Structures are given as C-alpha cells and as structure tokens.
Amino acid sequence: MTAPTSENPTVAEATLEQASVPAPTEATHPDAAIPGQDAPVAKPDAPAHEAVASEVEAGEAKPAEEAAVEPSKPAAEEAQSAPEEQPQVAEQPEVAEQPAPTQAPEPVQESKPADEPAEPELPAREAKEEKESAAASDKKSNLSFILNKPNDLSFEERPIPKLKNDHEVLVGINYTGICGSDVHYWLHGAIGHFVVKDPMVLGHESAGTIVEVGSAVKSLKVGDRVALEPGYPCRRCSNCMSGRYNLCPDMAFAATPPYDGTLTGFWAAPADFCYKLPENVSLQEGAMVEPLAVGVHLVKQGGVRPGDSVVIMGAGPVGLLCAAVARAFGASKVVSVDIVTSKLEVAKEIAATHTYVSQRVSPEENAKAIIEQCELGDGADVVIDASGAEPSIQASIHLVKNGGTYVQGGMGKPDITFPIVLACIKEITLKGSFRYSSGDYKLAVQLLGSNLVDVKKFISGVVPFKDAEKAFEKVKEGQVIKMLIAGPNETLE
C-alpha cells in the first residue's frame, strides 16, 4: 500500500524560502580542535557510527548516545537511555507560511497537451494509461520488505499500487536508504506513541523512476528519475496553508505507523512530492535527498549566512549533512563535535572545517575549549544540536554567542536540565526543527545538482533487495554512515 495522499493537490503554491546558496567558502582546515583523542569517552577505535539508535522520522525520540560530560554524575550513569516518548513537537504543529510543494514544473508531458484541463476520466485515456502502466510494470516485482513485529522481518509480494487520482505518479523504486527510525522500529516496534500494530513496510529515503503519470500531471513524464518526499500533509490545515506543512497534524509519513514505507517495488505519490533529479545526480545520490533535506531544514532554521561560524553537535548522518549544508550556505567555520573520534575523522574528511572531541568535563568547559580551539571569539553564530544528548545541548548554550541562534534537531530525552537563565541573558534565538518543509527538498536537490553538496561519500554501501536485513544489521552494528538497499527490480553490477 502506499501512503495516503491529499485529494486536493491544487492548494496554494509554495513560496520557496529563498535560502541563499552562495559558493562554498574555501575550506579552512586548521587542525585546531582535536584535543584528547584518547579521552575516555572517545575511544580511538570506536566504530564509526556506533550504536545506531533510533531516529526520529516521526518525531520519535532517539536515544542519545551521549556519554561525555556532566561532572556531577558518575560515568556509569552518563550514558542516557533512550526515551521512548514522542517529542511533543510532532503533536504541536504550528503555523506559518505556505503549503504545498515545490518543484519547478517541467514542460514535458507525454501525450497530454500542456493546456489540457485536468478533467479526469476520459475512458479512452484511462484505458490507455492502464495499459501503459501495466506494460511498464509488467512482470515486475512489488516485493516489499516488511516489519511484522519487533525483530521479525519478512518479504511479501504485494499488489502494485494504483494511482488514487489524476495528480499522482507511479514510481519504480531504485534505491532506499536506511534511517535510524527504520532500525528503531525493527528493534523496538515503536517510537514514542507510534506503535507498529500491523505489518508495515519499512523505508522512506527513496529515489525512483516514473513508470506512470496521472492525466493531470504536467511536471513529470515516464522515465524521469525522482527523489521521493515521503510525507504527505493534508494541504488544508492552518499549518499547511501557511507553508509549514511539516507541522501538519494529519501528516501521512511513510514507514511511520500506520503507513507503509518505500522498501517496495512501486510507490504511488502526488507528483508534486516527487523531485526530478538533475542529469548529474545519480539515483543513489537521489536516495540521500531525504536526510539531506533534514539538514537543509536545520540549517535554514539556524539562519546560517555567509561567513558565519556554525557548531554542530553530533557527527551522525544528520550532523554530517548539516555540516555539509552549512558549508554550502557559506559558513566560514563549521565545527563538528562528537564523543567518538572516528566519526570526527569522517566529519573532517567530508564536511567540517574543525572538529572537537567532547570531553568528560562540564558543558561550560567543553564550550570554552571549543571556542578557544576553533577561535570562535565571542562564541558561535549558530549552534545546531544533532545529537539529542543533554550535555551537548547544555554546552551549546554556553557556546553560542550573545544574540546567536540555537537549533534543536536531536531528539533524545524528552526533558532535560537546560541553562535557561543563560539563554535568557544571551538573548539566544532558540528554534526547533522537524523534518523538512516548503522548499527544502527542492533546495536539497539543487545543492546536489550544483555540486555544492556531495553525498557520495556518505554512502557506505549498497545491497540488493534480498539482502535488506543484512543492511539493517550493518546499520545496527554502527559501522556505516548510510546504507542503501536497491529496489526489488534493480540489478546491481
């Protein structure tokens, strides 16, 4: 089954926030910041990406892998357990700009005049399209990778979905990335109040190829390669109408119960949630657009401008992609902070200008050390948390300059001790960030197309569909940044 979609795809057009995307500034790579490589918490040989915990694709709480810091606690208590609660942000949508997706219309349209009204149901056309669709998907598999219950995965051949209205397209899935949230559902069967009650297809980070277009679709044609935006908002509520559709309370998000995900053969979706990939962007890179869009949204929330100094707490996939986007936005210093040295080595290679291994000292002391070693002067212009770890959130407030901006992206414990007075007297702008919204997917694709962000180095491996579970195991082991699974009809060389 596919995720439900709106029946009203005509709602207002998105105003794409014009995130300026200046040429990247030159990479200063001063080796400023890696003190204490052998700090107790930063085992030098710790596997990259260890302990892939959960993630929050649905506003899920992710267990923070935090360990560093907090002098007041004995070390053994420091590793915090994963809260299972759903962060409230998911339930508390809010208002804003505009709804509806993005996507510059592309001219081409097979066999449909451009000015043709979107009148449905010409029986002849329907018949023709059904035939085309059948031809396109003939003998193809809609094998789906299903989570039955925690630790119970299986494959099942499911019916190829049908277009639900004239504005939809059918996409053959080529590649899907595994997200922390997929792994969390697999292991625990729930994230917060999102509980897998019935078998659910996993996956939501996908790119594919159009095999059928609805009669009203003008922007895409059969054969186009697209990145799939996997959450479909109602398009009618105040959040949607103000452009912050990520806050829609009626969002139907792939692989968030009860909605099936995209680890399947074919996926029906509204055309305006499918973003055509530029020629120079591969389908594998296209599968990286989803997590990249998370990074785009976080960096936009931070209001990062050319010349800014940006500190990013956490060097998992989200933090690394934030670092890459911040560079693309023209930040002159991008500092990645983590407790695992090997992750910071990756960060430095692919995104950050500076790195810092968080120490077992107070958040204030870590902040001071980061400022000194990375020469941040009065503090960072923008700090983004992509760890969810309490000590790193606390350090962030000490780290940000007076009047600076702090963005919360990580979802760890739902409640923490927070230096609220400091935030007050520094007049910090504090923002949340949830998934992605108007313009983010479009910008993510543009960043790839213009080579301002290179996600190839984020892809740790690609496995055939039949080996999906092996790929999940690898992510669980934590040795990888991003694993991709080829679609069931995709042949890997």
Ligand X SMILES: NC(=O)c1ccc[n+]([C@@H]2O[C@H](COP(=O)([O-])OP(=O)(O)OC[C@H]3O[C@@H](n4cnc5c(N)ncnc54)[C@H](O)[C@@H]3O)[C@@H](O)[C@H]2O)c1
Chain contacts with Zn ion (rule: CB under 5 A)? 57, 179, 205, 233-234, 237, 240, 248
Binding mask of the shown chain, residues 171 to 210, with x at each position contacting ligand X by CB under 6 A: ---------x------------------------------
Contacts with 324 (C-beta within 8 Å, 6 or more apart), sequence order: 292, 295, 350, 351, 453, 454, 455
Q: Which of 355, 344, 337, 352 is nearest to 395 (CA)?
A: 337
Q: Which is nearer to Zn ion, 232 or 356 (CB)?
A: 232
Q: Please, are residues 3 and 254 in contact by the beta-carbon 8 Å criterion?
A: yes
Q: Which is nearer to ligand X, 172 or 412 (CB)?
A: 412
Place of tokens 């993630």: 55
Which of Zn ion, ligand X, none does residue 56 bind to, with CB < 5 to 8 Å depending on kind?
ligand X
Q: Which is nearer to ligand X, 233 or 391 (CB)?
A: 391
Q: Which of 378, 382, 398 is nearest to 333 (CA)?
A: 382
Binding mask of the shown chain, residues 57 to 96, with x at each position contacting ligand X by CB under 6 A: -----x-xxx-xx---------------------------
Burial of 168: CB neighbours in 10 Å, binned 0-12, 13-18, 19+? buried
Which of Zn ion, ligand X, none does residue 234 bind to, with CB < 5 to 8 Å depending on kind?
Zn ion
Provide, rounded to whole angstroms, the least separation between the CB of residue 414 and Zn ion: 20
Q: Would you tell me how many other CB atoms lie within 10 Å of the CB of residue 469?
A: 15
Applying CB under 6 A, what is the total number of residues that bind ligand X? 39
Name which position in 136, 293, 294, 485 contacts ligand X (CB under 6 A).
Answer: 294
In whole angstroms, how far apart are CA 389 and each of 244, 400, 478? 26, 17, 18
Helices marked H in 79-196: 123-137, 180-188
- Helices and strands per DSSP (H, E), number in the chain: 13, 20
Q: Which is nearer to ligand X, 391 or 488 (CB)?
A: 391
Name which position in 144, 358, 396, 405 contacts ligand X (CB under 6 A).
Answer: 358
Name which position in 218, 348, 435, 442 contacts ligand X (CB under 6 A).
Answer: 435
Listed ranges 152-160, 194-202, 248-256, 431-439: which one lies at the site for ligand X (CB under 6 A): 431-439
Contacts with 150 (C-beta within 8 Å, 6 or more apart), sequence order: 186, 187, 188, 189, 196
| 326-350 burial: b if 16+ Cβ within 10 Å, else e | bbbbbbbbbbbbbbbbbbbbbbbeb
Q: For residues 34-53, which are near ligand X according to CB under 6 A?
A: 49, 52-53
Q: Which is nearer to ligand X, 57 or 212 (CB)?
A: 57
Name which position in 16, 171, 269, 339 contacts ligand X (CB under 6 A).
Answer: 339
Q: Specify the 3-state DSSP secondary structure of 403.
A: strand
Question: Would you mind telling me the total number of residues written for the chain in this entry?
Answer: 493
Interface contacts to ligand X, rule CB under 6 A: 49, 52-53, 55-56, 62, 64-66, 68-69, 180, 294, 313-319, 337-340, 343, 358, 386-389, 391-392, 409-412, 433-435
